[in-house]
Amino acid sequence: DTSAETEGDTEEASSEKLVIGFSQVGAESEWRTANTESMKAAITDAGHELKFSDAQQKQENQIKAIRSFIAQKVDAIVFSPVVETGFETVLQEAKDADIPVFLADRSVDIEDDSLWVTFLGSDFVEEGRKAGNWLVDELGDEDEVNIVELQGTVGSAPAIDRKEGFEEIIGDHSNFEITQSQSGDFTRAKGKEVMEAFLKSDGDNIDVLYAHNDDMAIGAIQAIEEYGLKPAEDITIIGVDAVKGAFEAMAAGKMNVTIECNPLFGPQMVDLIEAYKAGEEIPKRVAVEESMYTMDQAEELLPTRQY
């Protein structure tokens, strides 16, 4: 029965045991931890061998890890680039070694897109637009809206794109102004530190905080409370990721909205790797589906959140 045979063959191809090298950015945020867990579980559950490297948010560690995967002749490399530039050489080395590279979560700013099979990740510009549109709906009629911005890691795709999308929307509203903007490197600690500086320099004139991830927003909330203001009331708080910490802050009435950036794409990534190895056509860009959540939804949704 050829159909069974064909079926068997397809099964056979996708269940071939692969050795997969995964170069992860680091463990800087709740989002990142959830993403690592999703990727590790998906790779091992599918019966493949995982070689994992945590770069501690350092580009040189990612380059070292990719070179090590090449030397070990892995079957595929999955890579979430900490920044958009500076990886051309090592990706060319992977191509020369005939090892396919799959971009996860973040992309690279490289002309030659033959250096990777596909980029599976969120549309960060759209996430920025969603934040901007929510703010316009919320405060668009106010005379003057002073916004401070906690940017993500300098040079990273999410930081560049979330800024771009947000400014695309608020740029049409002259009553909105970003008065201070600095990187908090996607961490709670740095987010708190930079928010303290924002408050010290102009604390009585801050209406909104736009944080490129929830971890920095949560750090900033602590700084706002220590400064003597009420987060989500005196200063409107916008985060990105929709991690559990954000739902807890919103349920406590300390945060207004979080734009979802879904880290749980491990199974989708494994499917793409297996499909490629089975000779199937893979689109150059695969987007991750995601939404946004506000304070009034937090209590009910918190128990359902997986990360």
Q: Does 186 bind ligand GZL (CB under 6 A)?
A: yes
Letters for 30-59 (x = contact with ligand GZL by CB under 6 A, - = none) are: -xx---------------------------
* Least distance (Å) between residue 66 CB and ligand GZL: 18
* Residue whose CB is less far from ligand GZL, 107 or 146: 107
- CB of residue 38 to ligand GZL, shortest distance in Å: 12
- The region of 9-17, 26-34, 168-176, 222-230 touching ligand GZL under the rule CB under 6 A is 26-34
CB of 254 to ligand GZL, least distance (A): 18
Q: Using CB under 6 A, which of 118, 180, 213, 256 touches ligand GZL?
A: 213
Q: Which is nearer to ligand GZL, 84 or 207 (CB)?
A: 84
> Is 105 a binder of ligand GZL (CB under 6 A)?
yes
Of 27-35, 86-94, 128-136, 224-232: span binding ligand GZL (CB under 6 A): 27-35
**Should residue 274 be labelled a site residue for ligand GZL when binding is judged by CB under 6 A?**
no
Whether residue 200 contacts residue 192, with contact meaning beta carbons closer than 8 Å, is answered with no
| Per-residue binding letters, 222-261, with ligand GZL (x by CB under 6 A) | ------------------xx-------------------x
Please report whether residue 23 would count as binding ligand GZL according to CB under 6 A: no
Least distance (Å) between residue 78 CB and ligand GZL: 14
183 binds ligand GZL (CB under 6 A): no
Q: Which residues contact 253 (CB under 8 A, 6 or more apart)?
A: 232, 233, 295
One-letter amino acid of 191? G
Rounded to whole angstroms, the Cα distance separating 208 from 142 reads 12
Q: Does 28 bind ligand GZL (CB under 6 A)?
A: yes
Q: Point out which residues pair with 101 in neighbouring strands.
A: 77
Tokens of 127: 């996430």
The smaller minimum CB distance to ligand GZL, of residues 18 and 103, is found at 103
Pattern of binders to ligand GZL over 139-178, x per CB under 6 A? -------------------x--------------------
Q: Residue 35: name the closest of 117, 125, 112, 120 by CA.
A: 120
Q: Which residues bind ligand GZL (CB under 6 A)?
A: 28-29, 31-32, 105-106, 121-122, 158, 186, 213, 215, 240-241, 261
